A = this chain, B = another copy of it.
Amino acid sequence: MKQLFVTEVRDFEKNTMGKVEAREVSMPEPADDEVRVKVIYSSICGSDTHTLTGHLGEFEAMTKAMLPMPFGHEVSGVIDKVGPKAEALGYHVGDKVVINYAKYCYACDNCRSGHENLCNYVQFCMNGFAEYACYHVQQVFKLPESYDLETACLIEPLTIALSAAEKAKISFGKSVAIMGAGGLGLMLVQLARQAGASCVTVFDLVEDKLELAKKLGADYGFDPREEGVVEKAIAAAGGKYDCVLEGTGAVSAAETALQLLARDGDGVYFAMYGKDPILKVNLHNDFYWDQKHLHGLIMGSGMFPKAVKMARRLDLKSIIQKVHPLSNYEQAFADLYTKKYAKVVIKMDE
Interface residues of A (CB under 8 A from B): 86, 88-91, 104-109, 112-115, 117-118, 120-121, 137-138, 140-141, 144, 162, 165-166, 171-174, 191, 193-196, 198, 238, 251, 254, 263-264, 269-284, 286-298, 301-310, 312-313
Contacts and interface: CB of A to CB of B under 8 A. Distances in A.
B254 A283 contact: yes
A204 B113 CA distance: 33
Contacts of A304: 112-113
A305 B112 contact: yes
A79 to B, nearest CB: 13
A331 B275 CA distance: 55
Given A112-B141, A198-B309, A274-B284, 10 more contacts: A86-B107, A90-B107, A112-B305, A165-B172, A193-B194, A269-B288, A272-B288, A277-B283, A290-B296, A291-B298
29 contacts: A86-B107, A89-B105, A112-B138, A114-B302, A118-B263, A162-B172, A166-B172, A172-B191, A172-B195, A173-B306, A173-B310, A191-B196, A194-B194, A195-B196, A196-B310, A198-B306, A270-B288, A272-B288, A273-B284, A273-B288, A277-B283, A279-B280, A281-B294, A286-B296, A287-B294, A288-B297, A289-B296, A291-B297, A293-B294
Contacts of A292: 295-296
A313 to B, nearest CB: 6
A208 B301 CA distance: 42
A310 B198 contact: yes
Report copies per complex.
4
A88 B105 CA distance: 10
A283 B290 contact: no
What 10 A-B pairs come out closest when comparing CB atoms? Answer: A287-B296, A173-B306, A173-B309, A109-B305, A198-B309, A273-B284, A269-B287, A277-B283, A273-B283, A291-B296
Given A254-B283, A298-B289, A305-B112, A172 B198 contact: no
A89 B108 CA distance: 8
Contacts of A280: 278-281
A138 B107 contact: yes
A90 B110 CA distance: 14
Contact of A194 (B118, B172, B269): B172
B281 A278 contact: yes
Given A272-B284, A284-B277, A294-B281, A306 B172 contact: yes
Nearest to A255: B283
Contacts of A274: 284
Contact of A106 (B106, B288, B305): B106
A264 B282 CA distance: 22
Contact of A281 (B138, B271, B281): B281
A194 to B, nearest CB: 5
